[in-house]
Chains A and B, each alone.
Chain A
């Protein structure tokens, strides 16, 4: 029974393990958040298979593929940063890897911006002058923009977060504990995984027809 008498209250600070558990749960909410969009996509595509096929052929598959490569590379680098963060001696490498991760995030957004510019000039924004007449094509482009913009917002938050970690690591002030870099990287991987689902849904599906 003496084991039951608590020696001390459990600490209520954000220990790394606690922060990681919190991040996992937050990512659970994010899955449900994007899940609503995936349901909308599934319903739309079931209603308008032809319209979605026609519409998806207007996406820029080359830039989309390049962006996929950029994001996958960034995820590999952030994993490298997590590995480095385990060893205080590798502090410089950690900072460098984090900066590289953030930079690749910026590259992704820049490429996405170029894509949006092309789509604007081709009247693919679902506005009054929308270019496609096939029923359902407009719905595809609505979902394309909602999904990619929400993904970009998440990526932007990731870039700011990773850059803040990179700065703290490089500036030599407070060394972020390894668990915290882990937590940040979890988020980054999640944003990457969302894109891994979006890429085939928006760029590849029905492309062959």
Chain B
């Protein structure tokens, strides 16, 4: 370990001087929030709005699972069912998962982690939130007017010529939300390039920042392709002209290529930030330096770049050429290599660590396990022959839920717990945090593991009724969903409870080492009362002088 005696870390017990108000106290009117340029406040605005959409999308999922509790299609009509899973997909993908970790935690933490006052373009940052809300409102309006029945994939020519639902309006909403993504990505890239504190080189950045940098590159390169694709679909639908409709000389496969050129990298938009979160939590609660820091950074870049070259694996049965399928299959296997490096390195970080199972750590460990299952089953569906059997079955549904929910949502909740004291200055009740983490983990597996089995046995996705032999597994899945829903509702209650003044905690209750922990909790509007000190190594947890005094039990919230 390198010498760190000359690195100053403020002991968490020493109360910081408070000359300026915290970002939460700097203005109390609604107007002060809606016109703020402060990245931390914008992050809170995002957190509130994506929570609303998370529960609306979750409501759709609840009705879906209720319908599937019995083999007969008796709760909703097939038409309504189509609209329900479309609403669930559209809302969860574009209004929750894509903005979740980047727009909330990336926004809040990147300037703090690199020692900056704000993002490079604070006004663009606010604009991106307004675009997100506008796009979300348009999507909700389309739902209220009658919904969409195409599935979140909007395949042509059904979506362009035949569907009698609010396709165009929904796509306009998605288009607007896309611009919000682009602005956020642009802001992150410029910020990381130009606003790093003096001495903070690229290989001293936390992996959270690396992950968001890579995510931002995907956001700015993939989202515009979605934008032009949605525009073409809207034009084709409204004017009855054909780019994708074969009846007009168009090509439906062109739609799939353009759509997946965005939507596959979009999976990495969801999961790379999650990996960034886990890379912060695991070293902190294992009190170990992250294993293979540089490899972790390179693996992030590797995933981001190879991730752009695998979209054709969504089209193995579409009729694309065998040569194309072979190449896409090979590249999909290749993307598993950097992903596996990350899993092995997190595991190696745990080795001989002194591990604490606080709530954030439970979520992070849950992420590692579920992401591994999701990733390995991804290799099943990346295999050409096997995919013919598994395409459009529940196996695929289970696979991507393991990545998106088991991976990204677990990490999102881990981040919520880990940085809750940072953002609010309050500590959540640790016992309840652990209970919720276990509920979510158990509920998630109960819900989605049976879906692997259903898919293997041939249950197709997107049907509201099914043969009775699938009943047991569907029932298990629906029961699991109840547990999962309970797990998601619990944090809503105890986080709200913890906002009370009695739950006040110290600036750095977990003894974490990132730059964001060197300032007060909640931070002042301009982030730092005095310039943060850049340490030799961002994950220097193993050094006892730095690690030990910080290890106050998280559950014991200390009064100021």
Contact = CB atoms under 8 A, between A and B. Distances in A.
Interface of A: 1, 3-12, 14-15, 17-18, 21-22, 25-26, 28-30, 32-37, 39-40, 43-44, 47-48, 51, 126-127, 135-136, 138-139, 142-143, 146, 150
Nearest to B248: A138
B232 interface: yes
Interface string B173-185: 0000000001000
A29 B223 contact: yes
A47 B225 contact: no
B225 A35 contact: yes
Q: Enumerate the 7 nearest inter-chain pairs by beta-carbon distance, A residue then B residue, closest first.
A: A4-B199, A36-B228, A33-B224, A12-B118, A6-B531, A139-B249, A32-B224
A30 B179 CA distance: 12
Contacts of B197: 6, 9-10
B108 to A, nearest CB: 15
24 contacts: A1-B7, A12-B116, A12-B118, A12-B120, A12-B195, A14-B120, A14-B121, A18-B121, A22-B121, A22-B190, A26-B182, A26-B186, A26-B220, A29-B182, A33-B228, A35-B225, A35-B228, A36-B258, A40-B258, A43-B251, A44-B249, A138-B241, A139-B242, A139-B243
B33 interface: no
Nearest to A3: B199
Interface in B196-234: 196-199, 220-225, 227-229, 231-232
B232 A40 contact: yes
A9 B533 CA distance: 11
Interface of B: 6-7, 111, 115-122, 124, 182, 186-187, 189-190, 193-199, 220-225, 227-229, 231-232, 235, 239, 241-243, 248-251, 254, 257-258, 526-528, 531-534
The A interface is mostly helix, strand or loop, or mixed, namely: helix
B529 to A, nearest CB: 11
Nearest to A143: B243
Contact of A29 (B221, B235, B241): B221
Given A9-B528, A48-B249, A138-B249, A28 B221 contact: yes
Nearest to A33: B224
Contacts of B121: 14, 18, 22
A71 B63 CA distance: 56
Given A3-B199, A22-B124, A142-B241, 13 more contacts: A9-B197, A12-B111, A21-B189, A28-B221, A29-B224, A32-B222, A35-B225, A36-B228, A43-B251, A44-B243, A44-B249, A44-B251, A48-B249
Contacts of A126: 239, 241
Contacts of A25: 186, 189-190, 220
B531 A7 contact: yes
Interface centre among A11, A48, A143, A150 (most CB of B within 10 A): A11
Contact of A10 (B122, B195, B225, B254): B195
Contacts of B531: 5-9
